[in-house]
């Protein structure tokens, strides 16, 4: 099976999942967090090496204080206790996004989970929190500018080299999934998705289980990725 090396998921539809059941939006976020824990382990079982997930965008601060607080407290709880299985499975957890603007206790829990899992080698779970794709490019450009000021020679600077300036030096995204039915990117990993295959589903994230994930993998296997060239079959 041709398995994508790096899968990214825009985990959307938690609120609508809850509203449809007459529950508070927060309940959807709680169910979504359980789905994430199971999916991360399943993705590694399927031989995916890196799973990136969009947990909170820089623009999600536009939501009510109550919802933002609930989510921040949920992240702390996840990193402190719920990720035990993920750690035991040998998955390294990294967080992408701006720490500036986050509560101190959230930053402390981010540092703790990154530290706790840093020697894990089975795969990487990259959680995008207070994350924006344009912000990541800007922050990277600023780091690069500093290196240039310090004498870095950029005569032969290539697009691959810019990955070094992203929050974590992760590989390009092969498969991008968005749950919840919207057909947009919402400022997710813009630099990393330049040649990724897209998979959109109406399923709300809490319902996006292993079999739904496998459907996306199956679709990926049948895509003809050409990267600007001509498919192998026609190339002789």
Contacts with ligand IPE by CB under 6 A lie at 10-16, 54-57, 60, 71, 180, 182, 184, 186
Task: CB nearer to ligand IPE: give 171 or 181.
Answer: 181
232: DSSP letter? G
74 binds, among Mg ion, ligand IPE, none (CB under 5 to 8 A by kind): none
In the complex, the smallest distance separating the C-beta of residue 166 from Mg ion, rounded to whole angstroms, is: 24
167 binds, among Mg ion, ligand IPE, none (CB under 5 to 8 A by kind): none
In the complex, the smallest distance separating the C-beta of residue 13 from ligand IPE, rounded to whole angstroms, is: 4
In the complex, the smallest distance separating the C-beta of residue 104 from ligand IPE, rounded to whole angstroms, is: 21
Task: CB nearer to ligand IPE: give 137 or 227.
Answer: 137
Task: CB nearer to ligand IPE: give 3 or 67.
Answer: 67
In the complex, the smallest distance separating the C-beta of residue 128 from ligand IPE, rounded to whole angstroms, is: 7
- DSSP string of 128-169, one letter each residue: EEEE-HHHHHHHHHHHHHHHHHTT---TT--GGGGGGGSSS-
* Helix or strand holding residue 108 (H, E): helix 104-116
Q: For this structure, is 84 an active site residue?
A: no
For residue 155 the two structure tokens come to 């005569």
Q: How many CB atoms lie within 10 A of CB 129?
A: 23
* Helix or strand holding residue 177 (H, E): strand 175-178
Binding site for Mg ion (CB under 5 A): 12
The backbone region for 32, taken as left when phi is positive above 0, alpha when psi lies in -120 to 50, beta otherwise, is: alpha
3-state SS assignment for residue 50? strand
Out of 2, 5, 12, 111, the active site residue is 12
Positions marked catalytic: 12, 60
């Amino acid at each position: 099976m041709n398995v994508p090396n790096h899968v990214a998921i825009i985990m959307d539809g938690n609120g609508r999942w809850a509203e449809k059941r007459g529950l508070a939006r927060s309940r959807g976020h709680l169910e979504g967090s359980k789905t994430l824990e199971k999916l991360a382990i399943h993705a590694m079982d399927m031989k995916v090496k890196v799973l990136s997930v969009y947990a909170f965008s820089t623009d999600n601060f536009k939501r009510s204080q109550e919802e933002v607080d609930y989510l921040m407290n949920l992240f702390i709880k996840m990193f402190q206790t719920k990720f035990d299985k993920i750690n035991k499975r040998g998955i390294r957890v990294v967080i992408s996004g701006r720490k500036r603007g986050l509560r101190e206790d959230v930053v402390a829990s981010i540092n703790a989970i990154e530290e706790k899992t840093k020697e894990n080698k089975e795969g990487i779970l990259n959680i995008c929190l207070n994350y924006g794709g344009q912000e990541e490019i800007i922050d990277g450009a600023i780091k690069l500018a500093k290196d240039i000021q310090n004498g870095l020679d950029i005569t032969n600077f290539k697009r691959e080299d810019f990955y070094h300036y992203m929050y974590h030096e992760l590989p390009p995204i092969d498969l991008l999934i968005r749950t919840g039915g919207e057909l947009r990117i919402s400022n997710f990993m813009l630099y990393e998705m330049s040649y990724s295959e897209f998979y959109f589903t109406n399923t709300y994230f809490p319902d996006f289980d292993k079999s739904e994930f496998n459907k996306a993998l199956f679709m990926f296997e049948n895509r003809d990725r050409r990267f600007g060239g001509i498919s192998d079959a026609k190339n002789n």
